[in-house]
Structure 1
Amino acid sequence: MRGVAEVRANGIDIWYETVGDPADPPLLLVMGLGAQLIDWPAGFVEQLAGRGFHVILFDNRDSGLSTALDDLGLPDIGAIFGGDASSVAYLLSDLAADAADLLKALGIDRAHIVGASMGGMIAQQLTIDHPDVVASLASIMSTPGPRVGRPTPEAQAVLLRPPAADRAGAIAAGVDAARVVGSPAYPTPRADIERRVAAKYDRGYRPAGTLRQYAAIVASPDRTERLRDVAVPVVVIHGEADPLIPMAGGEATAAAIPGSELLLIPGMGHDLPIPLWGRIIDAIEVNARGTRPD
């Protein structure tokens, strides 16, 4: 069963979809920088639902079909790195509050939370700020703060590339980005990448929103110390070949959270390649079910 809708939460309109049986335990998927809910591969989402979860996925503020905050202007990234955060529109705590309010608007008291990349940062912040709504946490290819797991120079260049002028340019840039940050042991066919990037462009191309989200990452405080108080089951999943948020980010996340499990996957970069879906979903399910072996 799949549902598509929009809801007012935390003062903005959030576009979301649901997959699976509403009677099953809810599982919220949180995506990353400039990403949309369609960045969660459909097959991956359906397999999660097939494991007995009611899956909820949504567009973060400033991405996809959720509210664009263009009236807040563009951040000065250079100034932010220099310590002047006056141009920052919002922080990761605001995106975490969006997720918490989305669950509330849907009548969900607690959910299993799965976040990837910036979505992992939001999921961590959600667990810190709103612990009552979190049943378990899976942090994928993420980091507890901007000072650990820094991108390689080539990945950083992709991250800070100027926005494309048109659709063709956006598709070309997306293909190049996937080549740089994707899994070297599990390459995605170029045609599949082109289709995915084209679908994102056609659904909602928001480079200004992506820049505001990036400013939120840079300006938000490190979460390491506050993660030490997390008491729910946590699994941290990270690719050993990730150039955008290198493995040190996942290791630092796991080290900060008492009792967390760390799954490092050789050959995995900053994406969710099909051959690894089963392994990743297994880890999410084991963590959520509390069936982890002693």
Structure 2
Amino acid sequence: MENFIKTNGVELCAETFGEVGDAPILLVGNTMLTWPDDLCARLAALRRFVVRYDLRDTGRSTTADPEAPDYTLRDLVSDAAGVLDAFGLPSAHIAGFGVGGWIAQLLALDRPARVATLTLIATRPTAPGPNDSDLPEHAPELMAHFMNPPEVDWTDRASVVAFMLENVRHLSGPAFDEAEARENIERVHDRTPAAADPGKAHRAAQMATAFAALDSGPRWRERLGGITAPTLVIHGEDDPFFPLGNGRALAAEIPGAELITLPGTGNELPRRTWDTVVPAILRHTS
């Protein structure tokens, strides 16, 4: 069942799996559906209390002006802490995917008492914008796709879904499962109230890049050595958005971090990876 949490002046949609008394894991992605139902259920079956939620401007959480969001990356970090508060969790195991990985890193740095362990998936140690010279940038072919998008009829579900599917195809590795991706995209689209508004649907469909315009505040890469939470880094070997060198840098610069790479995987968490990812998270949070 979905819950609506009021924190930091916004309303966030959250959902839980498992028993409250089990070890809590907060999953941070773009939307709660970054973490599929079956993945959450598998973690819950292994005695984890799983919490997932929609970031601002995604899913059923509060939306801002699509052209001028009035919040910062640090506000999203405060939102994550607010979700923990809403469920009465002084601390939790934190897992962040993509943008959620930035939020997770900053939560571990700025509010270390809230983070029991840290899992970083498909993310990097720097904010949106030009990357550091020692880190690989977005793949040129991917950026060419994003900079020259096809025509989309934002009032037509099929047109929007097809557009989102092409974005996901470009973000994925060579073992792309179109049927699985389409099912996930249709769920993301259909549970978003903004999808009924063509202007907001445009932003909802651009989730992979929608947060690039946020004010991210001061750099944090130079602070990674101060992370005290045990850290697991999981990264696709064929990630075109945050290429593998970004995951390697995180693992090298966070003390004691472990790196697991996923062959044939891009900026994604498809079902075929779960037999690796779920046991790894279980070990890490035990």
TM-score by length of 1: 0.84
The equivalent residue for 1:272 is 269
Deviates more, 1:151-160 or 1:20-29: 151-160
Stretches of structure 1 that go unaligned for 5 or more consecutive residues are: 76-87, 290-294
The equivalent residue for 2:113 is 132
TM-fit CA distance, 1:177 = 1.7
> C-alpha offsets along residues 190-217 of structure 1, whole Å, 9 cap, x if unaligned?
233222222212211444364652212x
The letter for the 1-side match of 2:180 is: D
Percent identity between matched residues is: 35
Change over 3 Å in CA distance of 1:7–1:104 after alignment to 2: same
> C-alpha offsets along residues 201-259 of structure 1, whole Å, 9 cap, x if unaligned?
2211444364652212x744432112210101100010111111100110111122111
Stretches of structure 2 that go unaligned for 5 or more consecutive residues are: none
Checking the alignment, whether the CA contact within 8 Å between 2:150 and 2:163 is kept in structure 1 is no
Equivalents in 2 of 1:158, 1:102: separation in Å? 35
TM-fit CA distance, 1:56 = 0.2
Change over 3 Å in CA distance of 1:167–1:266 after alignment to 2: same
Equivalents in 1 of 2:150, 2:217: separation in Å? 23
SS at match of 2:285: helix
Residue 20 (structure 2) pairs with residue 30 (structure 1) = no
Equivalents in 1 of 2:256, 2:14: separation in Å? 32
Equivalents in 1 of 2:180, 2:76: separation in Å? 29
Q: Matched residue pairs, number?
A: 267
Equivalents in 1 of 2:272, 2:165: separation in Å? 20
SS at match of 2:268: coil
Residue 55 (structure 2) pairs with residue 68 (structure 1) = no
Instruction: Tell me which of 241, 244, 249 is aligned to 2:246.
Output: 249
The equivalent residue for 2:76 is 95
Residue 145 (structure 2) pairs with residue 145 (structure 1) = no
Checking the alignment, whether the CA contact within 8 Å between 1:183 and 1:273 is kept in structure 2 is no
Equivalents in 2 of 1:163, 1:90: separation in Å? 29
The letter for the 2-side match of 1:66 is: S
Equivalents in 2 of 1:111, 1:149: separation in Å? 31
TM-fit CA distance, 1:107 = 0.9
> C-alpha offsets along residues 44-79 of structure 1, whole Å, 9 cap, x if unaligned?
111111121000000001111000112xx625xxxx
The letter for the 1-side match of 2:79 is: D
Equivalents in 1 of 2:115, 2:53: separation in Å? 17
